[in-house]
Each structure stands twice: as structure tokens, then as C-alpha cells.
Amino acid sequence: MHDVIVIGAGVAGLACARGLSEAGRQVLVVERSRGVGGRCATRRVDGQPVDLGPMFLHGDDPAFLAAVDRVPGAMEDWPRLIDGVGAPCQPEALQAHQRRIVFAAGLSAFPKHLAEGLQVQLSTTVAGVDVVDHTLRVRTADGTVLEANDVVVALPVEQSLQLLVDLAETVSGTDGQHDARQVAGACALLRMFGSVPCLTLVAGYDVDGPPLPWDVQYPADSECLQLIAHDSTKRASPAARVLVLQGRPRWSRQRLELPAESWGAELLAEAASRLGPWAASPRFTWPHRWRLARVERGTELRQPLRLTLSGGQRVGVAGEVFAPGGGVQAAWLSGMRLAERLLKEPG
């Protein structure tokens, strides 16, 4: 029996778990992947760290920036050199009041730092959440049942909705109808929001290739490319020149179910048309299909959700959609604010 079970080891879930744990709560974090971080992801490709989701952290909230500053290996003001006038995923990221930060080991250094000292159970898929005898139960795909007084759902909005729909169908207690209506209302709210996909291709080249006078390029006239990031400029002694090609949401959605070879070739051809024929022939490639890359801009809420069931059990929902601006800062803020609510407000 745990005080709190947090479902999802992305930045929102880890921030919430850390806030609760530091206040003395017994917290278990469950995550279906083999590592923490969610969309704040770094992979080693051909032995070199490469960021696959956000290309850099950015923000202006003092508490968020203080949390980032605790992580060793930070490099300020990347990207320094920006080419193109295309719209970034988060336009405010390049404004003067925003700090921009990357890490030598990759952006996953931030969620890994948040996870230090927490009880995190990886490779655990949650099948559903229900209430039995005034106890919240988290059912996993392998049949294990975990119990807690409170549950926090910190997943992409579509996955959070799926768990709340399950809870609405199975909720029980002294006033089951009241509980079901409350959870159903939260489901109706979450259905108003959605995530966009992003097909991403990592392409590696020899380090002595033609010079590139930018860290990130935002092409305004490309139908497929959202950005090209020169990721290896974040690394002290890169073994390869690594470009990260990220597709636009509409283009990505149209090709989401196609083989990676197909859409990867399109991204390389588009990069070659802009950078030169050499970009069409990388030494290695690694595709990644982000089905739920980020929330739709301009649809964020002001604060995380917290539901109190008739038996006193509480269910919280956090994530980047639950704070203004979206992105990693919003995810962290939503997790911390939910932890504060669970600590201060009675069940």
C-alpha cells in the first residue's frame, strides 16, 4: 500500500512524485518504458547522445529554472545560431526573456535528475484504475494490482483520458453515481484537447563535411520539415555530425502508419534540397515515430486536475496541457502544482 502511485515517469510525473516524496509521502512511480523522461528523450545513436523530442529546454519560471540548474553538464543559449523564419513548435522559446539550456549528456539528464531517490518501476504497463473498498487500485498488464490512497495520472492527454474512462466505468463507493459523474466530467474536459504527431529522423554524417552556419534551421516554405537541428553542436567532441529532422504535424499525421523507410527518405530528400546532395547520403539513420509529440498550442489549461471521490480517495491529472505555454516547463509546473494541491488540500 502506497500513499501515492504516479502513472508516468515523464517530467510532469517525476516533478509531482519528487514534490510529494520530499514532503514525506510514500510514492511509487510506474512507467511502461525502459527509462524515464517520456518525450524529453535522448538516445545514443552510433555511440553519441542525440535528443529526439525537444531540442532544448527553455523557460522563464524561476522555480523551473532553479530545478534545471541543479543538473550538471548544462550549456546555456543553445541554439545560438538560428536560420530561417519558420514557426518553432513553441515560438516564445526564442524570445529574449527565455533561457535556453541543453546538456552534454542530452536532455534526458533533466528527468533522470528528477528521478534520483524516487521509487520508479519501469517496464510496467498500466491496464486500468478502479476503486475497491475505498482504496484506489492500479491494475497492470501482467495482472499485478498496486494499491494507494491517491493516484496521479501523468501521461499524454489521450492516454490519461483512456485511464479516466476506465475509472468512470468501474468507480464505486458510498456514492458511486456522484463519483462516476465527477470522473465523467473530467473525461469530457480532456476530450477537448489533443496531441500532434512528429515523424523524426536522426541522420549521421562524417564530422568533416561541409560547414553549417547554424544550430537549428526553421524552414518556412517546407511542406514536411518543421526543423533541422544540428544536434552534434551540443557535444564537446562529436564522433559524427548528427542532424535531427522533425516533420510537420500535418505531414507526419498523413504518413504515421507508413514504413519508416518511406517517410525517412522524404525527409532526407528535403534536407538535401536545402543543404546539398551530401545530406541525402548519411552514414547512419535512426527513425522515431512520435505519435503524441506535443499538445496543440493555445489549448492549455491553467492548472492540473484533482478529483476527490466519495471515499476520500484522490485522483490527479498532470501534464503539459495543464499549465500555460506547453512544453517541458509547463509539464514540470503542472506536476509541482499538483503535488502542492495534494499536500495542502484535504481529501
Residue 93's CATH number: 3.90.660.10
Q: How many domains does the chain have?
A: 2
75 and 19 housed in the same domain? no
Query: Confidence band (pLDDT; 50, 70, 90) for 300?
Result: low
284 and 161 housed in the same domain? no
227-284 pLDDT per residue, tens: 999 999 999 889 999 999 999 999 999 999 999 999 999 999 999 999 999 999 999 9
Report how far residue 271's alpha carbon sits from residue 277's, in angstroms, rounded to the nearest whole number. 9
31 and 135 housed in the same domain? yes
**pTM assigned to the model:** 0.94
185 and 236 housed in the same domain? no
Biggest CA–CA distance in the chain, Å, is 70
All three cell numbers of 215: 544550430
More confident residue, 170 or 225: 225
The pLDDT mean for the chain works out to 92
Alpha-carbon Rg of the chain, whole angstroms?
Answer: 21
Task: Determine the pLDDT at residue 241.
Answer: 96
- Domain of residue 25: give its range: 2-41+112-194+298-344
123 and 268 housed in the same domain? no
Mean pLDDT of 66-72: 96
78 and 92 housed in the same domain? yes
137 and 177 housed in the same domain? yes
219 and 339 housed in the same domain? no
312 and 202 housed in the same domain? no
- Identify the CA nearest to 130 among candidates 338, 315, 347, 345: 315
113-154 pLDDT per residue, tens: 999 999 999 999 999 999 887 889 999 999 999 999 999 999
250 and 331 housed in the same domain? no
Beta bridge partners of 195: 295
Chain position carrying cell 559524427: 240
Helices 327-344/62-69 angle, 10° precision: 100
326 and 214 housed in the same domain? no
141 and 289 housed in the same domain? no
CATH number at residue 314: 3.50.50.60
270, 293, 316 - which closes a domain: 293
List, edge to edge, every strand of the sheet that includes 241-247: 82-83, 216-217, 225-230, 241-247, 195-205, 284-295
